[in-house]
Amino acid sequence: MARIKLGVLVSGGGSNLQAIMDACDSKQLDAEVVFVGSDNPDAKGLDRAAKASIPSFVTDYDRIRRNYLENQGAVMLPEDFDLEDILEKQCLFPEQETGQRVQSFFRIKALAERDLLENMKPFSFDLLVLAGFMRILSPYFIDRVNRDPEKPRIMNIHPALLPSFPGLDGYADTFDYGCKVGGCTVHFVDYGEDSGPIVGQKSFDIKPEDTLETVRSKGLELEWALFPECIRLFSENRLILEQRGHKRVVRVLPPV
């Protein structure tokens, strides 16, 4: 089986990126990272990419958003952007909520995601890995990466045991709720927020003496092991999507 090519998107320190690169270097993963992209020009993950001589780029979401708000009449949306299609597919807002705020949200998303796609265009990749990428992807982007709906190829890691505690800060939500067990989840990305089919999970006990900082530390250590494991399953073609009722789930095939 040929070595798979990974694209990685980051927003911050890039510790999961480093874990993936280390797994590639140690041959734990038969894969190579072909690009690293970020929405944050100051992301430390970009420095990690530079040290490894991996091409990188930045799509500045904040600048694109400001430009849209300041020059709405002059901003050209992507030619293939279909707002009606996006509103029908999206799962982030209630179906009946289609006003100007929601429309602007998806127009800005499409502008940023067009730039993201253009930056990714020179690179051939098999799997796009979100390694601490702090932007929700819209149907506009997802449909252009997932060319075959039955073979998703955007994978994300989330700092909680989904479906509990989706959203921005899963470890803090887990800790604040008083849970006795925390963990992390790798899942395929769909149109919702952290709602895609789960690929794998790891958990840890939360002790009475634990703080939010120790919970984060325990979780990160598991993330660095879990993400390469799930990417390896993808590279070995062992992840199969199945429909169970109204949900799509991942079945992991045994090794050949």
Overall size of the chain counted in residues: 256
Question: Which residues sit opposite 187 in a β-bridge?
Answer: 156, 198
Peptide bond just before 163 cis, omega within 30 deg? yes
Pairs from 78-84 (Cβ < 8 Å, separation ≥ 24): 78/110, 78/111, 78/114, 78/140, 81/107, 81/110, 81/114, 81/140, 83/107
Q: How far apart are alpha carbons 217 and 235 in whole angstroms?
A: 28
Site of tokens 């390469």? 228
C-alpha distance from residue 14 to each of 18, 91, 129, 205 (Å): 6, 28, 12, 25
Handedness of CA 77, 55, 29, 225 (dihedral sign): negative
Known catalytic residues are 158
The SS3 call for residue 76 is coil
Q: Which helix (H) or strand (E) holds 144?
A: helix 139-145
DSSP state of 157: E
Residue with tokens 């990305």: 189
Q: What is the rounded distance in angstroms from the CA atom of residue 112 to the CA atom of residue 106? A: 10
